Amino acid sequence: MAHLIPLSRLARLIGQPRSVLQKMAQSGQLATFDGHIDLDEALRLFPDAKIEDETEIRRVEEIKEQALAKAPARLELPEPDVLQQRLRQLGRDYAAARGKLMHYDRVVGWIGGKLAEAEENGRTEPGFADTFVHWLMGELTTTPSDMARWEAFLARERIMRMMTAQVTLLPKGQTFEIVGSESLLEAGLRAGMAMPYGCSNGSCGDCKCRVASGEVVKVRPHDYMLSTLEKRQGYTLACAYTAVGDVSLEVELDDADDIPEQTINARVREVERLGGRRVAVHLLTSRAERMRYLAGQLLEITVDGQSRRVPAASCPCDERRIEVHVQCETDADAATGPFSSLLPNVEVTVRGPFGRFGLDDASQRPVVLVAEGAGFAQIKSMLQHALSLEHAPSISLVRLASEEGLYQENLLKSYANALDNFQYVAFKAGTPHAAIGDAILEQAGELAQCDVYVAGSEAFTASIGARCRAAGLPEEQLKAEVVA
């Protein structure tokens, strides 16, 4: 009987990034079944993996924590109520497994009688029943050489099932991991899923979704009341419940048309000079407010009565942190104007989101990101979103500088140095578009199997788009945004 393990849990068990396993699955090296892997297959492919060595996973999490400016969820035991429910589920699983073993023992006992009956009736050769039963009992009493490793792997997987659970979002099948006592909504947003929600504190019901399979348990109080019919149909509040074990939820993820325009207040954490007249404004929202937007969209910020629509350069999964890149009108404005002279804790107004340029978060194809000049802000947001989703087997960034240079270069180099599935190549200002096209084809490998996102001037996006189409990229796998 096959024992299937979710891809994210297997990655933790063998100390490998999930992207490595996804590459193997897409190349046919690793057989998967609805995002799960057979334990025997895992042991065969990773015979030297140290079951409790998470060095590689921790290395990736550390670089994400530093570069994404947020702490990934730590692997720890959940709160007592959640732990109790997970232990009960493991108890039921254990009882079911013991029941099957008892039934198999009975079946083995019946085999001898059935074969002896067949021998008496002349349906098999004399002596076959004794020979077969002798062989079968020998096989059942002989411990396979890899049994100790199999048991260690399974024991570790059972412990991790108390700490984590996998959530699958239907109908598209996106997955993410819940760690500890995170709510379904908290874990989904941390993973970069555009799950619908309103207040996020159990009052509005906007995060209501149906549990298609599995069990959930309440971890947060809520005022919104589900009807008796909704409860019978399996509905729950994603902001107030967590998964007992692996669950499937029926959730229609937000797209650009689903997210309402919002106006919230935020405070300045830092103003960073990027180059020329461009600055990065780092904002922090209040605990009660969170801006809902998609990677690649625009936000409007108002400072001292001056409003500008600017690209978000941060991942929506960054919780309360928002980064926007602003092109000031003059050099003096960049040095002393409203966006650079702001001090920490000064309040600004944020409105949005705007625009439809965004990442296909259901795709598991390799991602190729292409940025020219100011287009880097939206591409950076999409890069961080893709890294949080962990769906793409590989991510490549090809960047062409403007007269402002290659700002925030250390961040991208830290990604490239630490993440095996991220490649980065940059070109100085004035490099011909043809050279950028060559780099895209070199980084992508089989371009027709990739998703390509381009942000830059009208001439740049047109040139790169034409080159990609000529190389066989399907139109639906190419998205472009013209940046003024």
Average pLDDT, the chain: 86
> What percent of the chain has pLDDT above 70?
91
> What pLDDT, on the 0 to 100 scale, is given for residue 53?
47
Lowest mean pLDDT of 53-62, 77-86, 402-411, name the range.
53-62
Instruction: Enter the CATH code of domain 367-482.
Output: 3.40.50.80
Which of 114-118, 154-158, 246-250 holds the top average pLDDT?
246-250
Lowest mean pLDDT of 189-203, 329-343, 386-400, name the range.
329-343
Which of 85-89, 132-136, 392-396 holds the top average pLDDT?
392-396
Q: Region 377-394: what's the mean pLDDT?
A: 90
> What pLDDT, on the 0 to 100 scale, is given for residue 346?
85
Lowest mean pLDDT of 208-217, 409-418, 441-450, name the range.
409-418
pLDDT digits (tens, 9 = 90+) for 144-170: 777 777 787 788 888 888 888 999 999
Q: How confident is the model at residue 282 (pLDDT cuts 50, 70, 90)?
A: very high
Q: Tell me the three-class secondary structure of the chain, residue by residue.
A: CCCEEEHHHHHHHHCCCHHHHHHHHHHCCCCCECCEEEHHHHHHHCCCCCCCCCHHHHHHHHHHHHHCCCCCCCCCCCCHHHHHHHHHHHHHHHHHHHHHHHHHHHHHHHHHHHHHHHHHCCCCCCCHHHHHHHHHHHHHHCCCCCHHHHHHHHHHHHHHHHHEEEEEEECCCEEEEEECCCCHHHHHHHCCCCCCCCCCCCCCCCCEEEEEECCEEECCCCCCCCCHHHHHCCEEECCCEEECCCEEEECCCCCCCCCCCEEEEEEEEEEEEEECCEEEEEEEECCCCCCCCCCCCEEEEEECCEEEEEEECCCCCCCCEEEEEEECCCHHHHHHCCCCCCCCCCEEEEEEEECCCCCCCCCCCCEEEEEEHHHHHHHHHHHHHHHHHCCCCCEEEEEECECCECCCHHHHHHHHHHCCCEEEEEECCCCCHHHHHHHHHHHHCCHHHCEEEEEECHHHHHHHHHHHHHCCCCHHHEEEEECC
Report whether pLDDT(42) > 90: no
When comparing pLDDT for 212 and 43, which is higher? 212
Lowest mean pLDDT of 236-245, 365-374, 390-399, name the range.
390-399
> What pLDDT, on the 0 to 100 scale, is given for residue 324?
95
Q: How confident is the model at residue 239 (pLDDT cuts 50, 70, 90)?
A: very high
Which of 78-92, 167-181, 341-355, 364-378 holds the top average pLDDT?
364-378
Q: Region 72-79: what's the mean pLDDT?
A: 70
> What pLDDT, on the 0 to 100 scale, is given for residue 470?
96
Which of 42-46, 49-53, 376-380 holds the top average pLDDT?
376-380
Report whether pLDDT(87) > 90: no
> What pLDDT, on the 0 to 100 scale, is given for residue 56?
47
User: Domain residue spans in the chain?
Assistant: 4-65, 73-253, 262-354, 367-482
Q: How confident is the model at residue 449 (pLDDT cuts 50, 70, 90)?
A: very high
Which of 113-122, 281-290, 352-361 holds the top average pLDDT?
352-361
Q: Considering the domain delimited by 262-354, tell me its CATH architecture.
A: Beta Barrel (2.40)
pLDDT digits (tens, 9 = 90+) for 425-434: 999 999 999 9
Instruction: Enter the CATH code of domain 73-253.
Output: 3.10.20.30
> What percent of the chain has pLDDT above 90?
43
Q: How confident is the model at residue 342 (pLDDT cuts 50, 70, 90)?
A: low
> What pLDDT, on the 0 to 100 scale, is given for residue 349?
94
> What pLDDT, on the 0 to 100 scale, is given for residue 208?
95
Q: Region 296-300: what's the mean pLDDT?
A: 96
Report whether pLDDT(65) > 60: no
pLDDT digits (tens, 9 = 90+) for 7-33: 888 887 877 777 778 778 767 788 887
> What pLDDT, on the 0 to 100 scale, is given for residue 336?
55
Q: Region 450-476: what's the mean pLDDT?
A: 97
> What pLDDT, on the 0 to 100 scale, is given for residue 414?
85
Q: Region 188-201: what's the mean pLDDT?
A: 88
Report whether pLDDT(410) > 50: yes
